[in-house]
Chain A
Amino acid sequence: DAGVIQSPRHEVTEMGQEVTLRCKPISGHNSLFWYRQTMMRGLELLIYFNNNVPIDDSGMPEDRFSAKMPNASFSTLKIQPSEPRDSAVYFCASGGSSYEQYFGPGTRLTVT
C-alpha cells in the first residue's frame, strides 16, 4: 500500500482565498483524522471520521473550516476564506481497528 496520500504537499495562497486540502487514506482503514501542526500549538486534532461519518469536530477552529468524506477513499479539508494565522502543516491520518494511526506526509500551507 502507498500509505496515506495528501495533496498538495505545499500550498501558498493569499488571504481571503479558498484552500482545499485532499487526503486518500489507507485502503481498508475506517477512520480518518485531520490534524494541524504549528510551532506555537503543537499537533491539534481538528476532526475525525469513522466509516465516513464525522464523529468529533470540536477541534475545528471556526466556521471557516469544513471537512467532508464523501466515500471511504477520499476526504477534503476546506478553508474559506483563508487567513495568515491558518498557516501551518496539515496532516491527514487513517486508522483501522487497532486504533493505531498512520500519518500522511502533510500539506504545508502558507497564507500571505
Chain B
Amino acid sequence: KQEVTQIPAALSVPEGENLVLNCSFTDSAIYNLQWFRQDPGKGLTSLLLIQSSQREQTSGRLNASLDKSSGRSTLYIAASQPGDSATYLCAVGTGGFKTIFGAGTRLFVKA
C-alpha cells in the first residue's frame, strides 16, 4: 500500500531564505507526482506536476525534483517571501488518476 510522508510537518523561516520541502513515498511504481499549495480555508492550487519519466520541473522560484528509485521528491523554494506562507502538499499518482496525498508541510515565512 502506497504511503506518502512529508517532512517537516511545519517550518518557519525568515524572508529571503532558500528552503527545501521533502516528500517520500513507499512504492516507487508511480505515474506522476504533483505539488500543491493550500491557503487557509481555501482549495488546493497545483504548483508543479512531474511525470514518472521526468527528473524535475521548474516554475519561477519553484523547482521540484523526483527520484523514483529512492522514493523521494523535493520542492525547492528560492528567495522565500511572506506570500509563500501556506501548506504545501505532495501527491503521488499511483495509476490512472488515483492519487495519494501526504499530510503537508505548513510553511511560515517571516517578514
Interface size of A as a range: 20 to 34
Given contacts A33-B97, A45-B99, A56-B98, whether A105 and B43 have CB atoms under 8 Å apart is yes
Interface of chain B residues 52 through 107 with chain A (CB within 8 A): 89, 91, 93, 96-104
- Judging by beta carbons under 8 Å apart, are A50 and B49 in contact? no
- Interface residues on chain B, size class: 20 to 34
Binary flags per residue of A52-75, CB closer than 8 Å to B gives 1, else 0: 000110000000000000000000
| Contact present for A48 and B98 (CB under 8 Å) | yes
B48 — nearest CB in chain A belongs to which residue? A100
Q: Are A42 and B34 in contact (CB under 8 A)?
A: no
Which residues of A does B touch, CB under 8 Å? Answer: 4, 31, 33, 42-45, 48, 50, 55-56, 91, 93, 95, 98-106
- Residue numbers in A under 8 Å from B102 (CB-CB): 42
User: Is B22 at the interface (CB under 8 A from chain A)?
Assistant: no
CB <8 Å contact, A103 and B93 = no
Number of A-B contacts (CB under 8 A): 56
Measured between beta carbons, the chain A residues less than 8 angstroms from B36 are: 103
Q: Which residues of B contact A44 (CB under 8 A)?
A: 101
Most buried by B among A44, A95, A103: A103
Flag if A42 contacts B45 (CB, 8 Å): no
Let me know if B44 is at the binding interface, CB within 8 A.
yes
What is the CB-to-nearest-CB distance from B67 to chain A, in angstroms, rounded to a whole number?
19
- Report the nearest B residue to A102, measured CB to CB: B46
